[in-house]
Amino acid sequence: MSREVLEELRKAIMTYDCEGAEKWAREAVQRKVDPLKALDAMTVAIRQIGDGFGKGELWLPDLVGAAAAMTAATPIIEEELKRVGATRESLGTVVIGTVFGDIHTIGKTMVATLLTAGGFAVNDLGINVTAESFVEGITAHNADILAMSALMTTTAPEQRKVIETLKREGLRDQVKIMVGGGAITQEFADSIGANGYDPTAPGAVRLARRLMGK
């Protein structure tokens, strides 16, 4: 019975079925399926989609759809993980968000989803995040990596502001900073003192692993 639930959960991610992913995640909890196995099943699926995208076999809508399905199911499984006291080995802790003044979420959500699938503990602060809120998130979660997104050229300077705020608070050397989004280039990332930049969601996962020495 557990195997059937895990397979249906995997299929829901592979077919971008948000309702199905949520349904089978709740079913997994109800049937007392090991939440670590449920998370692994989802991870296998999202990695397949990410790999397909990276190879040019799948397209951005596929990645967006799979990320949305996983996002629908993940909180349910994570809540069960907390309830039973299960822990998953982590490559590091990431705080991620879209900078203040910017409400774009798709790219940030895809990166957060793939980082979770890649073995990171991810704390998504959402959109329109102030420098102060990023600082609070880093401190609260003892983050190893800060990931910031900015889609617009008018909001890109907020990434510099966050880094300057971290310096003032004496926290800059405690966290690796990766930046991305439509408005960001490697040149800009270098100019603000970020540790890394990648234009794609799968590439962001590889970057995070390198920053953690993995």
- The residue with tokens 């998370």 is 39
| Residue 86: band (very low, low, confident or very high) from pLDDT cuts 50, 70, 90 | confident
pLDDT tens digits along 110-130 = 999 999 989 999 999 999 999
pLDDT at res. 213: 95
pLDDT tens digits along 164-176 = 999 999 999 999 9
Q: Nearest Cα to 100, choosing from 30, 161, 11?
A: 161
pLDDT at res. 16: 97
pLDDT at res. 30: 96
pLDDT at res. 166: 98
Between 14-18, 38-42, 51-55, 169-173, the lowest mean confidence (pLDDT) is in 51-55
Q: Edge-to-edge strand order for the sheet containing 145-149?
A: 121-124, 93-98, 145-149, 176-180, 196-197
Between 77-81, 86-90, 141-145, 151-155, the lowest mean confidence (pLDDT) is in 86-90
pLDDT at res. 99: 98
Share of the chain above pLDDT 90, in %: 88
Q: Using the 8-state DSSP alphabet, how is residue 182 labeled?
A: T
pLDDT at res. 134: 98
pLDDT at res. 87: 81
pLDDT at res. 40: 93
pLDDT tens digits along 127-146 = 999 999 999 999 999 999 99
The DSSP-derived string for 70-112 is HHHHHHHHHHHHHHHT-----S-EEEEEEBTT----HHHHHHH
Give the distance, in angstroms, between the CA of residue 25 and the centroid of all CA atoms in the same chain.
19
pLDDT at 20 over 80: yes
User: Please, what are the domains in the chain?
Assistant: 2-84 (1.10.1240.10), 93-211 (3.40.50.280)
